[in-house]
Amino acid sequence: MAKQRVITLLTDFGTSDHYVAAVKGVMLAVMPEATLVDITHELPPGDILAGAFVLAQALPHFPPGTVHCVVVDPTVGTDRRALAAVYGGQTVVFPDNGVITLVNRSRPLEAIAVVRDERYFLSPSLSSTFHGRDLFAPVAAHLAAGLGVERLGPQPENITLLELPEPQRRGDAEVLGQVLHVDRFGNLISNIPATMLGAPVESDRPCEVFCGDRPVGPLRPTYAVVERGRPLALINSMGLVEVAVNGGSAAEHFGAGVGAEIRVRLA
């Protein structure tokens, strides 16, 4: 049962060095039967918000019992804590720097501990620069092999969370949000959920989306309904308002990135 647990990895290590392999080697030494899945290793170095976004979007698709090992850790070696937490049947091991923020918002917290018991570390003496290898990897593998989170250490009194801008409703007719993530295609993914725009969003419904001051048009059903190279807005696969360019990059087209204003004006 515990023998087919999945461990995912989400880091900013890149894939050109030995860092990811060291982490996987340590995991496989603890739990040879683990199924290892890369979420990504291409987070911009130290970008906690990007990590928080990608984790929250990936996690819901994994089976119960999955362990997620998250290492975007710009303050490694300081007194920032390592935490392990169970959210809705899945476990996340992560540095307590806010990377859990979006998962913490969307799923019930079932158990949490400060990772302190050195028996589950690679060795009692941690390096001060590579806790991914020395702490997060072996702890994730022990958890995947069946160890309970409560065995790792005491419950923390709080969790570090990012303060993120929230989408705002302006009267009945407007919702004001921000770009939360720019994906590899250059799509501008906002923090405005479809649910904030009222009941089931129809295609071509009478509304207008703006990126900053520039009009994008109504919400469309999919990319290919506009000509190649033309911008559009839609509700994406995450249920969020997205500004895109069919066959191109909205980030380039609008010169916009994370934090840029996205507005939906309802008819």
Binding site for its own copies (CB under 8 A): 4, 6, 8, 13-26, 28-29, 32-33, 35-43, 45-46, 53-55, 57-58, 60-63, 66, 74-78, 127-130, 133-134, 181, 183-185, 221-225, 234, 236-237, 247
> Which residue matches tokens 């919702």?
175
Question: Tokens at residue 130, please?
Answer: 């590579």
Residue 153 zone, left/alpha/beta (φ > 0; ψ -120 to 50; rest): left
Q: Which residue, 159, 165, 180, 158, is CA-closest to 49? A: 180
| Residue 226 C-beta: closest distance to its own copies, Å | 12
CB nearer its own copies, residue 31 or residue 147: 31
The CA-based angle 126-130-136, given to 5 degrees, is 80
Task: State the residue for tokens 């158990």.
Answer: 111
Tell the smallest beta-carbon distance from residue 134 to its own copies (Å): 8
- Cα radius of gyration rounded to whole Å, the chain: 20
Q: Of 161 and 201, which has the nearer Cβ to its own copies?
A: 201
Q: Which is nearer to its own copies, 82 or 113 (CB)?
A: 82
Task: Decide whether 113 or 140 has the Cβ nearer to its own copies.
Answer: 140
In the three-class reduction of DSSP (H, G, I as helix; E, B as strand; rest coil), residue 89 is classed as coil
Q: What is the C-alpha separation between 51 and 74, in angstroms, rounded?
A: 12
In whole angstroms, how close is the CB of 87 to its own copies at the nearest point? Answer: 15
Closest C-alpha among 210, 187, 188 to residue 263: 210
Round to whole Å and give the CA distance between 43 and 98: 15
- Alpha carbon separation from 97 to 39, 61, 81, 243 (Å, rounded): 19, 24, 8, 29
Residue 117 CB, nearest distance to its own copies (Å)?
21
Q: State the minimum distance, in angstroms, from the CB of residue 119 to its own copies.
A: 19
**Angle at which helices 137-144 and 19-30 pack, to 10 degrees?**
40
Residue 7 or 113: the one with the smaller Cβ distance to its own copies is 7
Shortest reach from residue 187's CB to its own copies, in Å: 9
Comparing CB distances to its own copies, the nearer of 113 and 234 is 234
Cβ–Cβ under 8 Å, residues 178 and 191 = yes
Of 7 and 176, CB closest to its own copies: 7
Beta carbon of residue 221, minimum distance to its own copies (angstroms, whole number): 5
